[in-house]
Structure 1
Amino acid sequence: MTDYATPPAGLPGQNVMSTDRAMFTTAYAVIPHGVQRDIVTSYLPGWHDTRLWVLARPLSGFAETFSHYIMEVADGGGSTTPEPEGDAQGVLFVVAGTGTLTVAGQDHAIAPGSYAYLPPGCDWAVKGESGPLTFHWLRKLWVPGVGLEPAAAFVTSEADGTTVEMPGTDGAWSTTRFVDPGDLRHDMHVNIVNFEPGGTIPFAETHVMEHGLYVLEGKAVYRLNRDWVEVEAGDYMWLRAFCPQSCYAGGPGRFRYLLYKDVNRHMPLRPL
C-alpha cells in the first residue's frame, strides 16, 4: 500500500533552527511540511473532533479559484453538514486512517487512496473511525457552461484511477486521472502526477491554470518562476496563473504529488 505524506503536527523543540524553505512570492508559495504544526491548525463550524491545515484559499491578486485543506478527524469525529456553500464542489483524497463517507444516503468505507468527487448541492457526510482519518479537501465554486449540468458524485480510489503516460516519456512521467479530461462538466481536475527517478518536465510550463501541488511521496527539484526549489513529501506548492514550472525528479525513489488545476471554462471579462 502506498505510504502518503501527512502533516507532522506537534511543535519543534526549542533547539531547532527556525530557518526553513517556506516562502511566499508574487508568483508562487511553498509551504513545507515542517511548518504544518499544531499551532497553525484551524477549526470549522459544523465539524466536531476535527482540525485542519489550510494550505490554499482564494486570495485577491494571487490564486483565486480554490481552497485546499488537510482535514484531520478523530475517531467518531466528522460532520453531517460539511459544506456551507451550495454552489461549491469538492474533491476528497484520503491519506491516513479510515472512516465512512456518506453520499446521498449511501455509505462508503474510505481508507488511504480513497477519492471522492462531490458536486455542488451534494448531500454528504463523513465520520472518522480509526486514525485519525486524514484527507485532502479541495473546494471550488462550480462555473456553469452552456448546455452543462454538474457531474454526478462518485467515490473511487487511486488503485482504480486511469494512469496515462505522458507522450514520449516511456513511463518516466505519468498522470493518474479520475475524470475524463474531455468531460466539460468538470471545471477542475484533481489528479496524481507520477515521476520515476530521473523523470522530468522538460520545459517551463507557462499557462493559465492555477495550481496546487501537495507532494505525496519522494523528493525533487521544482522550478517555480525563476527559482529552483527543493521539495519533498508533505510539502505544498501554490502557483498563480502563468507561473512557469518544471521539474526534475532525481530519485532515489518515485516523486508523486496531488495536483489541482482549474480547466474547461471561458476567462471571465468582468468580475463574477
Structure 2
Amino acid sequence: MPELPEMENYRRLLSQHIINVPITGVTVNREKTINMETEAFVQGLVGARVVYVERRAKHILFHLHDGRRLLLHLMLGGILYYGPEEERPDRSTQVELVFGDRILYFMGLRLGYLHLLSVKEGEAAMGKLGPELLDRRMNAERFAALLKGRRGSLKSLLVNQQVMAGIGNCYADEIAYEARLLPSAQVQNLTPEAVARLYDSVRKVLTEATDIGGYMEMPFMAGDTVTGTYNDRCKVYDREGEPCLRGGGTIVKTELSGRKVFYCPDCQHEG
C-alpha cells in the first residue's frame, strides 16, 4: 500500500502538471470507486480546476476552484499515471480525468476510492488522523508526547493512523531498523533515549524515501526517473533471508498482530 513517501511524491508531481488546468473530460469505468452516480460525478468535475494538491497521511486531496475536494485513497495496489492517450497504460483503469491533451489515469482502485466531497465532508474524512510527522511543527518533544501513555508493540504504534499519519508496513519496519529497535519492542518500555532515536529515524527514513520517490512500481509519467527509486533501498522490508547491511545478522520475516514484519535479530533490540 502506498505510504507517506509515495503519496508525497505523487503530490509534488501532480502539483507540477495539473494546477489550474481545466478538467475537460471524465471517464468512470467502475462506479464503486466513486461516491455518487457516474453522471453526477462527471457533471461535477467537467470544467473544474484543481487549484491545490494536498497530501494528508496516505491520502491526496485535490482542492477544486469552487471549494470542493476530490479525495483519493489508493489503498492496496492503486497507482497513478499521467500522459497522452497514446501512452495509455496496459491495464484497466477505474477513473480517468482529462486535462486537455493529457489524462490522469487511476488504476488498481479495487479497494481504493476517489470521492467528490464538500469542504465539510473533506474535513470530516480527515478528522481522526494523527499529526503529520514531517510537519514543521513536529519536534522531538511533541513526538515523545504522542507515545506517552501508549502501550503495545512499536510496529502497531507506527502504523496506527490515529496516532501518527502516513506510515504503513514498509516504513514501520525501515524506521525500526534505523532506530535499532525491534518491531515487537513494547512502547511503554522505551527509554527517553530510544524515543529520541526513534524520532530521528522517522524523520530520516521518511524524508529520504520521499526525496527519492518512494517504492511505487511504475513511473508517474514518461521521463519520470524518480518514482520508485526507493524500491532498491529498503534495508529490511521484503529482504527475508538476506544479510543485514550492518553486518553479521540475517533478515527475518515473521508476523506481529496479523502484519508481516521484517527485522534483523542481531542489531535490533527491545530498547
TM range (shorter): under 0.3
Higher helix share: 2
Q: TM-score, normalised by structure 2?
A: 0.25
